[in-house]
Amino acid sequence: MTPAVAGPFAATRRPGRPRSEQADRAIIEAALAIFAESGVEGLCIEAVASRAGVGKSTIYRRWPGKEELLVDALAALKTPLPEPSGVSVREDLIGLLQVICADMADPRRARAVTLLHGEGHRYRRLSARFIETVVEPRREVFRRVLRRGIETGEIRSDADVDTALFMMTGAAQVKGRGGAGAIPDGYAERIVDQLLQGLAPR
């Protein structure tokens, strides 16, 4: 299924003619395909325009450069996180982590994230921008649930929220690198239950 375009940069376009959703999707798909084939270095606006069947000016009206386009393209691959219900920390964490597991089980999504991480040391500004605009807002959803657990007494008061966050998401991401079928059913539940055993009030 073609991902929707909802990245942090696409929303702040320059004035001009009305946007075409079809063109947006074609540009995003072209950027993702070229990135998967050639990495950041091989991604250029000219190549994206040619593959998407649009003019370069069409892309530049939407994104100021290839880094902003790539960040939005990678953001479009991520499944939106569910809104935590606020009833049970366990159930909220499982619901959030199931989305991470599902995304990592998708070879296309997993490859894109792995490729970006692998090239992050060469493109520090791009990596930092992706983390700031895409990754951190998602992490903060997990943090809010964990902080609520501390407030309600479901998690002990001296728990390190960031460490707990990375234990959960890291477990899903590392497991997902094993390829399709690497993440078994119920894996999100197992991660959360193991974590909460260690974070339970003494």
* Domain 79-199 in this protein, CATH class: mainly alpha
> Are 109 and 78 contacting, i.e. CB atoms less than 8 angstroms apart?
yes
CA–CA distance from 100 to each of 4, 106, 134, 175 (Å)?
18, 10, 13, 11
178: its two tokens: 């094993």
Per the listing, tokens 């375009």 go with 5
Residues 6+ apart with CB under 8 A from 145: 84, 89, 92, 93, 96
Q: Which two tokens stand for residue 126?
A: 């791009």
Specify the pLDDT at position 178. Answer: 67
Which is it for the CA torsion 169, 172, 175, 178, positive or negative?
negative
Contacts of 158 (CB under 8 A, 6+ apart): none
Q: What is the structure's pLDDT at 86?
A: 92
CATH number, span 21-76: 1.10.10.60
Q: How high is the pLDDT of residue 8?
A: 56
Instruction: Sketch the domain layout of the chain as residue ranges.
Output: 21-76, 79-199
C-alpha span between 15 and 13 (Å, rounded) = 7
Closest C-alpha among 155, 146, 143 to residue 202: 155
**Predicted TM-score of the model (pTM):** 0.81
Q: Do domains 21-76 and 79-199 have the same CATH topology?
A: no
- Per-residue pLDDT tens listing for the chain (202 residues): 444 444 555 544 444 445 688 999 999 999 999 998 888 888 999 999 999 999 999 999 999 999 999 999 999 989 999 999 999 999 999 999 999 999 888 877 777 777 777 776 778 888 889 899 999 999 999 999 999 999 999 999 999 999 999 999 999 988 877 665 688 999 999 999 999 999 998 8
Span between the terminal Cα atoms of the chain, in Å: 47
